[in-house]
Structure 1
Amino acid sequence: MSLAAETGKLQTLGAGLLALGMAVTVGTALAFQHIGGYIPCKLCLEQRLPFYVGVPVAVLALVSSMLKLPPIVTRGLLLVCALLMTWSVYLGGFHSGVEWGWWPGPTDCGVVAAPSGSGSLLEQLDLVIPPSCDEAAGRFLGLSFAGWNVVASVALAAIAYFSAFRKR
């Protein structure tokens, strides 16, 4: 299939699902952080980057499809979404492997000098020690947040590749 092939309802639906799915995925992570109190580690924060870029790209793909812009624009934006979600699969898979102890994580993940005890009580309360990347904050049905990110990213990547290369 060519990226220049005509687009139709499938691309519009795919772009809408991608925008919604990516927003819900990263929104859930942000809710666990800000409402649930889970402090993200360095690798958790990196896993959000494809979504922060992907949501606006998916919205652009949706607008492009609805405005009937040249098919290469819509399909190209959908392909960018697919590549971003593929990157997200890698990031989540890497983090999951670190959590399971299959390979080492970054040396600077969670390594912070302990508070010295000096300074005022308010200054000490402001110090936040990020969690280590090799400890899952929690597991649901056997998967950590990073593992569920892989599941969501695989589904979103499949939608994006299908929408980018499938006939209308």
Structure 2
Amino acid sequence: MNGIQLSRLAGAGSAALLLAALGFQIIGYAPCELCVLQRWPHVVAVIIALAVVLTGRVRILAILGALAVATSMAIAIYHTGVEIGWWEGPATCSAGTISVIEMSPQQLLEKLQSAPVVRCDEVAWRFLGLSMATWNAICSALLAGIWLLAARRAR
């Protein structure tokens, strides 16, 4: 495969990941904040793939595509670590530590009312023992490899 074909493949891979994420959302798996953040680099990768097809400029765009999916991979690895409990996630979507002793009843009520419904530190779905975030990290790593191969095979 040449660079343009590989760029199409990588872009299609990112599009497939986005469609899968939306499919899970449609059937009732609401995304957490980190899940949504992982999607944006794939949107960028799809746009880059379209730019490759339209312009034929593979090398620099493929490197940008690799950086985009690598960004999603990094967020997914971070998210996986939050799910496993290796580190705390963002306060906006993780349990974290809240000192209720120091809060007034009004502050506690406000905190409870503003709490997000979907938490980043709870795995909603697993396949072969791996969460969606972990699968995204794996798929994003493969897509980064395809993008880099596209850059290498650019004419």
Scaled to the shorter chain, the TM-score interval is 0.7 to 0.9
Matched, 1:53 2:28: no
Q: 1:23 aligns with which of 15, 40, 46?
A: 15
Contact 2:58-2:150 at 8 Å conserved across structures: no
Contact 1:44-1:146 at 8 Å conserved across structures: yes
What SS does structure 2 have at the residue aligned with 1:39?
A: coil
What SS does structure 2 have at the residue aligned with 1:136?
A: coil
Structure 1: give runs of 5+ residues left out of the alignment. Answer: 1-8, 66-72, 117-127
Structure 2 distance, partners of 1:129, 1:105, is 13
Matched, 1:96 2:87: no
Residue identity opposite 2:14 in structure 1: M
Matched, 1:85 2:69: yes
How far the C-alpha of 1:63 sits from its partner, in A, is 2.2
Moved over 3 A (4+): 110-116
How far the C-alpha of 1:105 sits from its partner, in A, is 0.4
Please tell me the root mean square deviation across aligned C-alpha atoms, in Å. Answer: 2.0
Between the aligned residues of both structures, percent identity stands at 39
Alignment of 1:125-140 (within 5 A): 129-140=116-127
* Bigger share in helix: 2
Structure 1 distance, partners of 2:10, 2:47, is 10
Residues 97 and 48 from structure 1, CA distance in 2 versus in 1: closer, same or farther, beyond 3 angstroms? same
Contact 1:110-1:130 at 8 Å conserved across structures: no
Structure 1 residue aligned with 2:104: none
Structure 2: give runs of 5+ residues left out of the alignment. Answer: 96-109
The count of corresponding residues between Structure 1 and Structure 2 is 141
Structure 2 distance, partners of 1:79, 1:62, is 15
Q: 1:37 aligns with which of 19, 24, 28?
A: 28
Structure 2 distance, partners of 1:88, 1:131, is 20
